[in-house]
Chain A
């Protein structure tokens, strides 16, 4: 029997049971909602009703409740219409003024009284219906059962019936939920706006991806859940153009469109719009984020320069992790355990107390090391080395806690306060030739947002402190590279997103300004840990987006006041032209420029770098005359959502990157003994702008398919090449894979079982690592190979009980490594990436 014949009945069964199966429920809901609207326009209200009910069951939305009510009305089923109008009103209290009259009319017709809205969760049961006839009773019993199922679905989806604000309404930077706009009820028709895709990161305002001036990929909470990943970087591997490179189990460097490196520094990572960039190192430490995976609503990945919107360091892209709005979703408790050394426990609770919505989370995570340098327990009695942490088998151990409170005081005033902290021990690779390090890090943040009559005032404080040093060192090394650090960033920003029309031109204008304080104390910097280095920055930006019919244009400009850079070097413009060639298909041409400011290490370093000879060191000096790294990008893209069965992106881009910052050759000197450095300084090195210009060209094609309920498919491919040019000489920079491809499938079966398979492929890389040659005192670039790699992962999740509160899941990550026992490296000096096999138990209530 052929495979297709064997699978045929199963596939047929699957298509027959679509109503309770969802891969990404929102995509299913979107498709049903669109089909319902189409049926309603054809006055086929029975079909419309069934579609709207299916949409609501897949992913609740107030507009769907309204359309269900409207469908019942058109079918002359007034009791059910009344029920759903009431549900709509409770879900959208701001619409009460307009929907209450309808309810009043229906109640009068049916002889019912008006319940008190907003008194608590609406429990829709059959007994609440009064005076039914026998026929109506049977009908209502069916409705009751349906609504019971609806309620269960709502609970399962983490949505209380009483409050159903659209997750899409989350503020541009994760601020308090924007007050939803009142639905237009005047026309008496169906609401057309629900499940719209909204992205907020490209322009700092919510917009349709079709109108985005940059290429945007969105990863949803369901992507996180179904993929089984335990950290965000591993999820990012599936995004076209994104390169996630793990050197240790605890530390993954993420880049976009190439230029990845140890301590990747060209992608700006935000959490709800708050920068996580550690300016003193020039990177983001993903494991220190105090949020739990379970509180992430979605992750937006902007490919292309973002300095015009976010300032420095958004060179090749922006990743914005957007958390769930407080009050939304369910309580979640989850425990994971498995190999290698993987342990995880997390809890998230959310709800409302009076008018204040809250979300609290806490968790613990640990990961085993993929490899260790030596087995100290099996070595000589008196080993020459020791490890930074006593536990030489653990790459990560982190405790996290996070809290957020939102309160909408009035339709014009809302506040949000949030904070979090984490304490972690982890293993990472620093820049240059330094070996793997141990890091004890304490991270905390505090943030406040005020929305006042269209003005958004935001402030946050980020704090990072801790200790670090080589993971393995000789006992008598004396800890010469051990370091302490303390970094504080205070950022205040105000912006005024305005929407207005001038004639037929629609404008969205966003103007803002801000101030940032940076204070850093770091052993590696000038005068050591006791010296507080302070920088004060200013910023101003304007972003104008206009549309006339099918045409759109975006113009953005940002300027930063940087203490070490002339203002002309921080100017970051961006412009885009958009054309809606079809209602759901847009063409885009974007040109932009971005920069990376030298970080504290590059500007202020004063470190004696050990050499293989104990008595000799090289002094590494910061350079305050560095120019910022600069990227200029031009890209053409097409974004297509012309059916509800797919989304597709194709982008062609051209990047030119200049002034990359790296260590220079050693300037040799006849130095004598340095009592401070306890050795002989053989020479000095420093940070310089490299002369080459890098030209990157590439094409990214990305498609997502939602063929039927419960099934999500995605595939993308990225072809790219980066060329290094100095004068008239050019050569390929092979550190970026020429081909990167991802594919995956998710299927939430009708049997309370979810399946997921994901694959990532990267073609071989050739790195030319710059390292110090102590014999020649020169920085040399040795070509080193990273073979092609295929990383496949699978997950199965089962909810054994009908209420689906409890889920038991098993995940195999990097299956090839699990089978062979040999992982691939992702960087020439990185550790082989091990497989992970672990189980999870989660309980949602």
Chain B
């Protein structure tokens, strides 16, 4: 080796043996996880599929009230198969460490949108399903993700066809609930909602803002102003389903008696397992956010209400037997049901001391015992109905907020009404 070339080798070695340091605060969080797998769809018609991922501790309707933490979509063109069984790959990314439930929806009528509360759910004729451990048992399975891993082979079986519409409703009268009265009442106050023929209207026409059917193209005038141009719409024709609220007094053991609510406290209070579930949430003044265990949560006031106490002849919170006014064990279309306001509220906030759930720490305020009506915010509250299929509807909603015109006889203004709580 010459004197000169001996200098070269250390230089080249230094250049070639380099291992870049890991960024101390990377803009891209590579610790996030991903999952991928296959959507298996049992059906002949194909539409876009949406794979929704829920926190296993905060499942979505009808099991819980959680919202998906994220979702991904699957193009109809990616489905392959035939003879009533189609499958397509999917992937979901950017998931923090945790346990997840994975559901899917095949949107045959092409009216799903996650950014409108009246579109973010399955409508009649859509198909839903969940990730199952295996296709034989079809039992929901939890997916655990940790440390930037990609979990593969997640199978989501979509096999349940929606035969009902969402529980579209309006308040029968503009309901005003007195918290003081509710606290004093032995039988809590009620309000009434009624189903509407609007469900079919929305199934068919809610995509009114989709604009002309065209591929977005800056060189084409077909779409008018480019910023107003919308993607093409396509999808199979579907038949509108009957409208109404599907009420179901669950009798899973077929003993002819209503089953107790699947929650010890509620069951002890004599509450039966009845659908739809009803929740009300304060939507008056903005409440802000709080941080808990590294996560940001919105401050919330929530209360679960109970339907059909009058119809099935029970006294909510005081116990009693279900009467045969409503059929037990048989999902039944109803045009009007009563809702009983229970004077028990959960206040999710940073200093909540009663308990912690997926929405953060909360205080439990019972107006009959440890709280006064002044402790609860008054004003506008939103009511949400969750049917046994997991379909939901809430009032007020985007229709009211958007001020959409009356459609096919349905008064859109009713969708801007709120439950009013007064002291």
Contact = CB atoms under 8 A, between A and B. Distances in A.
A808 B7 contact: yes
A670 B231 contact: no
Contacts of A366: 15
Given A335-B8, A612-B94, A472 B30 contact: yes
Contacts of A672: 110-113, 207, 210, 231, 233
A475 B113 contact: no
Interface in A627-677: 667-677
A679 B92 CA distance: 12
A272 interface: no
B15 A615 contact: no
A384 B33 contact: yes
Contact of A615 (B28, B50, B116): B50
Interface string B215-257: 1111100000011001111100000000000000000000000
A393 B148 contact: no
A337 B14 contact: yes
Interface string B49-79: 0110000000000000000001111111110
Interface string B363-379: 00000000000000000
B265 interface: no
A684 B119 CA distance: 19
Given A371-B23, A674-B231, A337 B12 contact: yes
Contacts of A615: 50-51, 71-73, 114
Contact of B113 (A380, A476, A671, A684): A671
Contacts of B111: 672
B19 A476 contact: no
A589 interface: no
Interface in B301-334: none
Interface in B342-384: none
Interface stretch (A167-175, A618-626, A744-752): A618-626
B220 to A, nearest CB: 10
A613 B10 CA distance: 48
A526 interface: yes
A88 interface: no
Interface string A334-355: 0111111111000000000000
B54 to A, nearest CB: 14
A557 to B, nearest CB: 33
A269 to B, nearest CB: 27
A839 interface: yes
A392 B20 contact: yes
A831 interface: yes
A373 B30 contact: yes
Nearest to A603: B218
Interface in A744-774: none
A366 B18 CA distance: 11
A779 interface: no
A385 interface: yes
Interface stretch (B121-129, B149-157, B169-177, B406-414): B149-157
Given A373-B26, A526-B217, A339 B20 contact: no
A206 B149 CA distance: 62
Contact of A684 (B8, B24, B208, B227): B227
A384 B148 contact: yes
Name, among B33, B112, B148, B208, the residue most crowded by chain A CB atoms within 10 Å (CB to CB).
B148
A476 B207 contact: no
Name, among B146, B206, B219, the residue most crowded by chain A CB atoms within 10 Å (CB to CB).
B219
B20 A475 contact: no
A341 B20 contact: yes
Given A343-B16, A373-B28, A673-B110, A474 B94 contact: yes
A460 interface: no
A606 B14 CA distance: 44
A368 interface: yes
B30 A671 contact: no
B84 interface: no
Given A614-B91, A684-B227, A675 B234 contact: yes
B150 A673 contact: no
Nearest to A371: B23
Contacts of B7: 808, 839, 841
A815 B210 CA distance: 58
Nearest to A614: B72
A678 interface: yes
A682 B226 CA distance: 15
B21 interface: yes
A372 B21 contact: yes
A686 B51 CA distance: 29
A393 B233 CA distance: 45
A838 B14 CA distance: 9
A371 B73 contact: no
Contacts of B73: 614-615, 673, 678-680
Given A372-B21, A673-B110, A613 B70 contact: yes
A337 B10 contact: yes
Given A335-B11, A680-B73, A385 B114 contact: no
A371 B24 CA distance: 8
A384 B74 CA distance: 19
A225 B217 CA distance: 51
A806 interface: yes
A504 B167 CA distance: 94
Contacts of A157: none
A713 B375 CA distance: 74
Given A343-B15, A614-B70, A839-B7, A393 B20 contact: yes
Name, among B71, B206, B207, the residue most crowded by chain A CB atoms within 10 Å (CB to CB).
B71
Given A337-B15, A384-B148, A669-B230, A613 B34 contact: no
Contacts of B90: 476
Interface string A363-388: 00010111111110001111111000
Nearest to B29: A373
B36 interface: yes
B21 A374 contact: no
Interface string A309-349: 00000000000000000000000000111111111000000
Nearest to A472: B28
Interface string B26-49: 111011111010000000000110
B11 A338 contact: yes
Contacts of A337: 8, 10-15
A382 B149 contact: yes
A612 B24 CA distance: 22
Contacts of A699: none
B163 interface: no
B34 A474 contact: yes
B107 interface: yes
Contact of A476 (B91, B211, B231): B91
Nearest to A621: B226
Nearest to A249: B20
Interface string B88-123: 011111100000000000010011111110010000
A478 B72 CA distance: 12
A513 interface: no
Interface string A431-458: 0000110000000000000000000000
21 contacts: A341-B18, A343-B11, A343-B16, A374-B31, A375-B22, A382-B149, A435-B28, A436-B28, A476-B90, A606-B216, A613-B114, A614-B73, A621-B227, A667-B227, A669-B230, A670-B208, A672-B210, A675-B231, A675-B232, A677-B231, A679-B73
**Across chains A and B, which 10 residue pairs bring their CB atoms closest together, nearest first?**
A337-B11, A476-B91, A341-B18, A343-B15, A374-B30, A614-B72, A615-B73, A674-B231, A384-B34, A371-B23
Given A371-B21, A670-B210, 18 more contacts: A341-B20, A368-B18, A372-B23, A374-B30, A435-B27, A471-B28, A476-B89, A526-B219, A614-B73, A616-B71, A619-B216, A668-B115, A672-B210, A673-B47, A673-B110, A680-B73, A686-B227, A806-B4
Interface of A: 335-343, 366, 368-375, 379-385, 392-394, 435-436, 471-472, 474-478, 526-527, 604, 606, 612-616, 619, 621-622, 624, 667-682, 684, 686, 806, 808, 829, 831-832, 838-839, 841
